[in-house]
Structure 1
Amino acid sequence: MKGIVFTEFLDLVEDKFGIEMVDEIILNSTLESEGVYTSIGTYSFSEMLQLLKNLSDKSGISIDNLLLIYGEHFFSVIERSYPGLLDTYKDPMEMLSSIENHIHVEVRKIYPDAELPTFLIEEKSEKRLIMNYKSSRAMHHFGLGLMNKTFEYFNSTAEIIIEKIKEDGTEVRFIVNKN
């Protein structure tokens, strides 16, 4: 997993819970990196799982809700770091439907070894988008957070429903109904 995912996560934890919480979740984890991350490094996903679990245990917030909050936070990273990317879209449905064929292509140019989820479009219209998410990491709530902020960015709203295709969350269907 790319280091930027870790550095931004720890920034979020510090902003929301304080530096003491960052120290606590790192100290309570068994991390090969010892909790030292660079944005361009690559680290084991198991480290992120430990950090999330420890934060969930300490904060009382479920891992899914932490991933949702983190996804919403991470959108600001995209907004700040890649404003030209966002400007290429006219509306949120267009942007979401291009994740696989445009956005992930651009991410791979910057991070060639990034392990990204797969988003396959099942149905697309002006007001409705159905896409299937696949990832061994089961971080679909992170994706939901990014989607929420995508609609906010375009001054729009939507109802986003998640249907688990596999119970472990490695495959889910997002049903997006634009208001």
Structure 2
Amino acid sequence: MKGIVFTEFLEMVENEFSYEVADKIIEENSLTSNGAYTSVGNYDNKELLMLVSSLSNHINKPVDELVHAYGKYLLKRFFVLFPHFFDSVESTFEFLDTIDQHVHIEVKKLYNDAELPSFETKRISQSEMQMFYRSGNPFACLAEGLIEGACEHFNEVITVKSEIEDNYQSATFTLTKEA
């Protein structure tokens, strides 16, 4: 998993909770990386799971809730770090349609070793879309948070219904725009 996912997670922990909490969750785990992440490095996804579990214990929030909140945070950060991915789209549905065909292709050009999830979209109608998430990593809640972060970014009221399967490695999200 790319280091940017780790560096942004630790930045969120520092901003939302404290530097001390970020240090504690690193120190209390036996991390191969020793918690020294770079945004372009590659790291074992199990380390992120350990960090999130430790954070969950410290702040008494469920892991799924934290991963979901991190997805929303990460979408905001992607908008700051990679604004060109958002330049030619004007809605959540348009943006989600571009992830596999545009965003992930550009990411692969920069990081050919990146292990990216698959995001397939299917338009049901003008106001309804399905998105299919598949990954070797158990981060369907992160994907849901990213989707909801996109809804907030584009200032759209969209209900997201999720059917998570395969130990969080796949999900079907049904998005319905409010009239």
Q: TM-score, normalised by structure 2?
A: 0.94
The C-alpha deviation readout for 1:15-39, integer Å capped at 9, x for no partner, is 1110111111111111011111111
SS of residue paired to 2:175: strand
1:64 Cα deviation from its structure 2 partner: 0.9
**Whole-angstrom distance in 2 between the partners of 1:75 and 1:171:** 19
Q: Tell me, yes or no, if the aligned pair for 1:97 and 1:129 is still in contact at 8 Å.
A: no
**Whole-angstrom distance in 2 between the partners of 1:55 and 1:86:** 31
Q: Which amino acid aligns with 1:88?
A: S
Runs of 4+ in 1 over 4 A off after TM superposition: none
Q: Which amino acid aligns with 1:87?
A: D
The C-alpha deviation readout for 1:66-122, integer Å capped at 9, x for no partner, is 111111111122111111220111211111122211121122122211111112234
Unaligned runs of 5+ in 1: none
Map of 2:57 onto structure 1: 57
Map of 2:173 onto structure 1: 174
Map of 1:154 onto structure 2: 154
Q: Which amino acid aligns with 2:118?
A: T
Unaligned runs of 5+ in 2: none
Map of 2:85 onto structure 1: 85
Q: Tell me, yes or no, if the aligned pair for 1:93 and 1:126 is still in contact at 8 Å.
A: no
Q: Which amino acid aligns with 1:19?
A: Y
**Whole-angstrom distance in 2 between the partners of 1:163 and 1:123:** 17
- Matched residues, percent identical? 35
Q: Tell me, yes or no, if the aligned pair for 1:2 and 1:114 is still in contact at 8 Å.
A: yes
**Whole-angstrom distance in 2 between the partners of 1:22 and 1:78:** 21
Q: Which amino acid aligns with 1:175?
A: T
Distance 1:122 1:85, change over 3 A: closer
**Whole-angstrom distance in 2 between the partners of 1:96 and 1:21:** 33
Q: Tell me, yes or no, if the aligned pair for 2:161 and 2:175 is still in contact at 8 Å.
A: yes
Q: What number of residue pairs does the alignment pair up?
A: 178
Map of 2:142 onto structure 1: 142
Map of 1:108 onto structure 2: 108
SS of residue paired to 1:43: coil
Map of 1:11 onto structure 2: 11
The question of 1:38 aligning with 2:38 is answered: yes
1:125 Cα deviation from its structure 2 partner: 2.8
**Whole-angstrom distance in 2 between the partners of 1:56 and 1:115:** 26
Map of 2:24 onto structure 1: 24
Distance 1:35 1:165, change over 3 A: closer
**Whole-angstrom distance in 2 between the partners of 1:159 and 1:12:** 25
SS of residue paired to 2:90: coil
Matches within 5 A, 1:126-141: 126-141=126-141
**Whole-angstrom distance in 1 between the partners of 2:132 and 2:85:** 23
Alpha carbon RMSD of aligned pairs, Å? 1.3
Map of 1:96 onto structure 2: 96
**Whole-angstrom distance in 2 between the partners of 1:172 and 1:34:** 32
